Amino acid sequence: MAKIGLIGGTGVYDPNLLSGISEENVTTEYGAVKVKLGEYEGTTVAFLARHGEDHAVPPHKINYRANILAMKKLGVERIIATGAVGSLNLEMQPGEFILVDQFLDFTKNRIQTFFDDSERGVVHVDMTEPYCIELRKIIANAAATLKLPVKTSGTYVCTEGPRFETPAEIKMYSSLGGDLVGMTSVPEVVLAREAEICYATIGMVTNYAAGISPTPLTHAEVVEAMNRNNENLKKLVMRTIEIIPQERKCECQNAIAELGSLGQGKLLS
């Protein structure tokens, strides 16, 4: 069992911050998921590379439901996710960490719920605070102790990908209130919420978005920027794990309480 889950995005493919690593193949009704389990400072952590260890899975093909259900089955209560993001907001600069607090969903073709048949019932999960307030505060405190540049809110525009955006799209997203753009936070955050798992994303700004950046974007540029900041990202995750309290006091654990005690049981059965 692991109470903390780590979902590594672009540039974060191995859990070498953990010790005593073992690999577990977790089976779910959506498919099997390879998760690495390891220890850090006496805490068991479950690690999952969102795009696979060789970055072979594009954002629109990630098995989001299997990944989150695998975490749930391992007993995970809190997920710290990392994600490379482009910036639409000149105040959010490459190299900065942003603790995303809202999203705008522009995905097109992704199943966003575990509750899509009559057996489990219908759930309309509340999205007022999609990203756990408590976990975001803990990460912000961890960043402060490390003196890392961090902003504690930002609106994440999730696109379908895998292509990058046009400058016209970026202009539109910006006029709608978007600060950052990426391809993976939805439905990951939504499913975590349905599973009553606290979820926070550490967005790492790798580039200015299309049309803001003076040059065309490449995936290599994103990976290079991630690599430059990888050590800081690891430090931030490790410090967060060090200071995370055992018990959570937030409301994420009651996100689908309207379904009664059966809700989570149905997810795990």
Cα Rg of the chain (Å, integer) = 17
Map the footprint of ligand HPA across residues 131-170, applying CB under 6 A.
159, 164-165
Question: Could you tell me which of 260, 218, 23 has the C-alpha nearest to residue 121?
Answer: 260
Of 58 and 265, the one with the shorter C-beta distance to ligand HPA is 58
Burial degree of 249 (CB within 10 A; 0-12, 13-18, 19+): exposed
> Pick from 67, 207, 229, 264: which binds ligand HPA (CB under 6 A)?
207
User: From residue 165, how far is each of 59, 160, 223 by CA, in Å?
Assistant: 14, 10, 17
Map the footprint of ligand HPA across residues 69-98, applying CB under 6 A.
84-86
Q: Based on the shown chain and the rule CB under 6 A, indicate whether residue 181 belongs to the binding site for ligand HPA.
A: yes
Of 67 and 206, the one with the shorter C-beta distance to ligand HPA is 206
Q: Based on the shown chain and the rule CB under 6 A, indicate whether residue 62 belongs to the binding site for ligand HPA.
A: no
Q: Based on the shown chain and the rule CB under 6 A, indicate whether residue 204 belongs to the binding site for ligand HPA.
A: no
Q: Based on the shown chain and the rule CB under 6 A, indicate whether residue 217 belongs to the binding site for ligand HPA.
A: yes
Coil, strand or helix at 106? strand
Segment contacting ligand HPA (CB under 6 A): 14-22, 41-49, 120-128, 206-214? 206-214
> Pick from 183, 236, 237, 255: which binds ligand HPA (CB under 6 A)?
183
Q: How far is the CB of 167 from ligand HPA (least distance, A)?
A: 11
Segment contacting ligand HPA (CB under 6 A): 36-44, 134-142, 201-209, 258-266? 201-209
Q: Which residues pair with 28 in a beta bridge?
A: 31
Of 170 and 259, the one with the shorter C-beta distance to ligand HPA is 170
Q: Based on the shown chain and the rule CB under 6 A, indicate whether residue 226 belongs to the binding site for ligand HPA.
A: no
b/e sequence 110-125, b meaning 16+ C-beta within 10 Å: bebbbbeeeebeebeb
Residue with structure tokens 């809190």?
A: 78
User: From residue 94, how far is each of 137, 140, 205, 237 by CA, in Å?
Assistant: 22, 18, 5, 19
Of 6 and 222, the one with the shorter C-beta distance to ligand HPA is 222
Beta strand pairing call for 102-106 and 19-28: unpaired
Residues lying near ligand HPA in the complex (CB under 6 A): 84-86, 159, 164-165, 181-183, 206-207, 209, 217, 222
